[in-house]
Amino acid sequence: MQTPTLFALLLLLVLVAYGTGFSRALAAARSRGGMRNLSSLPSYYGLHTALWCGLPALLLLGAWLAFDDAIIRALVMNGIADKPDTIAGQNLLYAQIQNLAAGHLFGDASPQVQAAAERLSSLQSGSRNLQAALSLILASGLGAFAALRFSPELRAREKVEKVLRGVLITCACAAIFTTVGILLSVLFESLRFFQSVPVTEFLFGLHWSPQMALRADQVGSSGAFGAVPLFTGTLMVSAIAMFVAVPVGLMSAIYLAEYASKRVRAIAKPIIEILAGVPTVVYGFFAALTVAPFIRDLANSVGLQASSESALAAGLVMGIMIIPFISSLSDDVINAVPQSLRDGSLGLGSTRSETVRKVVIPAALPGIVGGVLLAVSRAIGETMIVVMAAGLAANLTANPLESVTTVTVQIVTLLVGDQEFDSPKTLAAFALGLMLFVSTLVLNFIALHVVKKYREQYD
Amino acid sequence: MTDSTQTNLTQQQVRERIEQRLASRHRKEKLFRGLGIASIAFGVLAVVVLFTDIIGKGSGAFVQSAIELRVHYDQQVLGIDEVDDESLAWANFTGVIRESLRERFPEVSGRGEKRELYSLVSTGAPFTLRDRLRANPELLGKTETLWLAADDDVDTFVKSLSDTEEGFRGRTSEQKAGWIQQLLGSGEMKKRFNSTFFTNGDSREPEQAGIRAALMGSLFTLLVTLALSFPIGVAAAIYLEEYAPKNRWTDLIEVNINNLAAVPSIVFGLLGLAIFINFFELPRSAPLVGGLVLTLMTLPTIIISSRAALKAVPPSIREAAMGMGASRMQVVFHHVLPLAMPGMLTGAIIGMAQALGETAPLLMIGMVAFIVDVPGGVTDPATVLPVQIFLWADSPERAFVERTSAAIMVLLSFLIVMNTSAVLLRKKLERRW
């Protein structure tokens, strides 16, 4: 039975269960002389039966769908006498078996593979039938059980609410699951990477060239995994971005909060915030096709050498992207500074700019620093702009007119296309991902902490 | 010392000093203010430059040069006697087009020149003829006048003519440019609305490439994202706001959510690759996986805005409902949730807008493949609009720059519609207590 049909049937069963519970409750109410003699409202009895019917079956089905492929694969591969030793070889063999079983492959398959393919398709159909039968039996059986157990004294509402509460808690834990998932996925692959490349070489090596030799005697593709050029590239692009974004963002926030009339604020603030809603791929296109050629021509006209993909172009555009981020965060903290501080300063005869520089900014500083730290973590993790405008060459350089590469660019180039999960080249992307995750996590943690501490002061 | 020198100053001198100092302070004030205005101007300028650049580059893609040709559906040239699926599949429509091009320019001779001539028309034109003949089988053996899409080099040349006298010739030879001028002069070549751009999938030929497949891919991906992230996000917000006791576990969840909101999106792509594709063996390039990854990415946004919406409902509502004997669950689901819904919907729309513009994590899970077919479901291989933009931005043909910008315009207009509707929804439904 196909999975969608199965789901439809289950849904039908659940509806029937709801109807049964509901009507039994109504009948009981009628015979007892009114709704008030029931422990709960009829709809709760309906829900109670429906939950008994649907929830266990759905959980079973979900687990089945998640794990059946892996189990079937293990069963099929165990049945094969002489397996290839490498993981890649086994993957290839299994793909061949799958294609044969699905009827995509004709011609000369060895009898062993043919037998395995037959076994695979029989296991697959068996698994589908068993899954359908089990879940339908479970649903109807438990539904009938709940319907039979019905009594007007049953505290249906409380039971239903308990289940709902469990569902709410599970959803709230989704964030934890996600973090754990990220950590596990990045950590395991990174550990495998560090088995073939030492941590010290990765962290302190000056040469990055992830091409691995396909043959043992191949020249020129040694596979060097020294990530320092990537770190410096990332830092340079982020520094250029912050150099643009911090002064512009902060000054516009100050102007909007302290000087601008209501009308100017109502027009200028949304316009600047448009920049925050533009997708990064659009910025990347803008950086690569408009800003980078402009900078190259400008540099060439004053006699400087500039490559067509430069750190400056990427950093500049990334800075523009971050302006609204800094300005709206600073705007919030500046507005949170109590008016009495400003009044005090103005009353002592200082000008407005003196008030801003000597009173408002120092009072808002922790919040602003927090916002800037969040912006830095965003700049480090930004991908599309640098992929499209910064280049791929891992140069260890301090010249912003040369092309540099960043951590995120390398993750993308290593993982787009075909991957082998037993080569350090692919696994290196996960090690870089781990670095990225850890560094942004630390930055975020400090930033959130600073912001939170500051907020408590004036609340 | 200083005190004595100061007291020695006359009143006049003191006044002069103060005035000097005041003048410099006022200058600084003006400078500071000017810096503020300059910053705002820089931000606004960035918006204006970005939008005019994109619109200037992209508006051309909504029209497409077409050539008017008298096409004779000759059975002999086509090599078929009747119209059915089988014969249409191998009928020589290219020959028919070449025939009519030779008819239009009888003076052309020689192999090289002829090849030049044939390259006036898009390589997709034979399919246009095939579809036409399939729809109207009675045309076989007859002649009709038809507008056929021009090749992308021709199109680029024609469009550049309006900018400069010479035009951008690129790969177009002088002779070909002459033919084009001749066709333009006689009105046999015109720029027409480019419907291909909205009805086709991706293609290596710019004049054949469209955004329909990417749009459908985005739609399916967003549907999966919305179906998962909205209920989960709202449920999580309800638990954290209405039920959760203040303890370490709740604190941990809160810190986690705030941190996840700031984790780079590409890391979610790594998660999707390692867990959904390698561990659970879900299909690559599928909107299902893309939707799952974007769900995890937008969840913090939706949870945070839903919590804010719940927080805005005054406690008196809850107390009144409790007083009437409602259970806690009933208070939340019958009273608080309906009142908080507008705020939650606004948050959901903003989260969806974020998901619609996201590219990096989808590159990790294989949605970057070259896919021509329009996806029909959540497990078909697909690409999404931002990734399509990324792919086209990498293509060398000049005509793709135009199409990339046009695709960006489509993407931006979707985002503008979504964000504006979020703002309007908030304004219309928001209640101040």
pLDDT digits (tens, 9 = 90+) for A330-355: 998 898 888 999 999 999 999 999 99
Q: What does the pLDDT average to over A264-291?
A: 91
Q: Which residue has the tokens 């593709």?
A: A221
Chain A residues lying within 8 Å of B53, measured CB to CB: 286, 290
Whether A285 and chain B come into contact, CB under 8 Å, resolves to yes
Going by pLDDT thresholds of 50, 70 and 90, the confidence category of residue A458 is low
Round to whole Å and give the CA distance between B147 and B125: 10
Tell me which chain B residues have a C-beta less than 8 angstroms from the C-beta of A275. Answer: 43, 46-47, 50
Query: What's the pLDDT at A372?
Result: 93
**Mean local confidence (pLDDT), B78-86:** 77
Of A173, A351, A408, the CB nearest to B266: A408
Coil, helix or strand for A208? strand
Q: Pick from A47, A111, A39: which is nearest to A82 by CA? A: A111
Surface of A (423-442) touching B: CB under 8 A: 429-430, 433, 436-437, 440-441
Q: Over 70: is that where the pLDDT of A391 sits?
A: yes
pLDDT at A219 exceeding the cut of 60: no
A168 touches B at CB < 8 Å: yes
Residue B3 has a pLDDT of 52
CA distance B241 to B313: 11
Q: Is the pLDDT of residue B1 over 50?
A: no
Closest residue to A353, CB basis, from B28, B252, B269:
B28
Pick the residue with more confidence: A323 or B367? A323
* Per-residue model confidence (pLDDT) at position A254: 94
**pLDDT surpassing 50 at residue A54:** yes
B58 has a chain A CB within 8 A of its CB: no
**In the predicted model, is pLDDT for residue A14 greater than 70?**
yes
Tens of pLDDT, residue by residue over B129-162, are 888 888 888 877 788 888 888 888 888 888 877 7
Contact between chains at A444 and B244 (C-beta distance less than 8 A): no
> What does the alpha-carbon distance between residue A377 and residue A386 come to, in Å, rounded to a whole number?
15
* Nearest beta carbon to residue B36 from set A254, A271, A290: A254
Q: Which chain B residue lies closest to A278 (C-alpha atoms)?
A: B412
What's the confidence (pLDDT) of residue A253?
A: 94
Could A281 and B389 be called an inter-chain contact, meaning their C-beta atoms sit closer than 8 Å?
A: yes
Q: Please state, rounded to an integer, the average pLDDT across all residues of chain A.
A: 86
What is the per-residue DSSP string for A328-368? HHHHHHHHHS-HHHHHHHHHTT--HHHHIIIIIHHHHHHHH
CB contact under 8 A, B262 and A175: no
* Bridge partners of residue B145, in order along the sequence: B70
First-residue to last-residue Cα distance in chain A: 60
Residue environment code for A437-453, b if the CB has 16+ CB neighbours within 10 A, otherwise e: bebbbebbbebbebbee
Distance CA A122, CA A79 (A): 14
Give the integer Cα–Cα distance in Å for B7 and A403: 64
CA distance A386 to chain B (A): 11
Residues of B in contact with A388 (CB under 8 A): 390, 393
Q: Which of A12-21, A39-48, A111-120, A241-250 has the lowest mean pLDDT?
A: A111-120
What average pLDDT does this structure show over B204-227?
A: 90
Fold of B212-429: MetI-like fold (1.10.3720)
From the list A274, A384, A444, the residue facing B390 with the nearest CB is A384
Work out the pLDDT band at B385, boundaries 50, 70, 90: very high
346-375 of A, contacting B, C-beta below 8 A: 351-354, 356-357, 374
Contact by Cβ (8 Å): A294, A343:
no
pLDDT of residue A421: 66
C-alpha torsion sign, points A67, A72, A75, A78: negative
The beta-carbon neighbor of B47 closest among A271, A408, A430 is A271
How far does chain B reach from its first CA to its final CA, in angstroms?
64
pLDDT for A456 beyond 60 = no
For an interface test with B, the pick among A76, A285, A437, A446 (most B C-beta atoms closer than 10 Å) comes out as A285
pLDDT tens figures, A85-106: 777 677 777 877 877 777 776 6
Quick one: which of A147, A119, A150 has its CA closest to A40? A150
Window A:222-261, CB contacts with B under 8 Å: 247-252, 254-256, 259-260
Between positions 41 and 100 of A, the ones with CB within 8 A of B are 66, 69-70
Domain boundaries, chain B: 2-59, 63-200, 212-429
Q: Which residue has the higher pLDDT, A319 or B186?
A: A319
CB contact (8 A) between residue B39 and residue A324? no
**pLDDT score of A217:** 55
* Optimal mutation site among B27, B263, B412, interface A, most CBs of chain A within 10 A: B263
What whole-number percentage of chain A has pLDDT above 90?
A: 35
pLDDT confidence tier of residue B165, bands split at 50, 70 and 90: low
Contacts of B308 in chain A (CB under 8 A): none
What is the pLDDT, as a whole number, of residue A356? 94
Which pLDDT belongs to residue B431? 73
Q: Check residue A164 and give its pLDDT.
A: 92
| Average confidence (pLDDT) over A140-156 | 85
Show residues of chain B in contact with A328, CB under 8 Å: none
Question: CA dihedral defined by A67, A72, A78, A80, rounded to 10 degrees?
Answer: -150
Report percent pLDDT > 90 for chain B: 38
Between A and B, how many CB-CB pairs are < 8 A?
Answer: 254
Query: So what's the pLDDT on residue B389?
Result: 93
In this model, does residue B78 exceed pLDDT 60?
A: yes
Give the mutation candidate from B31, B271, B344 for the A interface (greatest A CB count, under 10 A).
B271
Tens digit of pLDDT for each residue in A407-453? 999 999 888 866 666 677 888 899 999 999 999 989 988 888 887 77
Tell me the residues of chain B between 110 and 139 that have a Cβ less than 8 Å away from chain A: none
Please report the domains of chain A, with CATH numbers, ordered by start residue: 3-172 (no CATH), 224-458 (1.10.3720.10)
DSSP assignment of A362-393 equals HHHHHHHHHHHHHHHHHHHH--HHHHHHT-S-
User: In this prediction, what percent of chain A has a pLDDT beyond 70?
Assistant: 93
Quote the CA–CA distance of A255 and A233 in Å, as a whole number.
Answer: 33
* pLDDT class of B97 with cuts at 50, 70, 90: confident
When the pLDDT of each residue in chain B is averaged and rounded to a whole number, the result is 86
Return the pLDDT at A216: 54
Asked if A174 reaches chain B (Cβ–Cβ under 8 Å), the answer is: yes
Give the pLDDT score at B280. Answer: 80
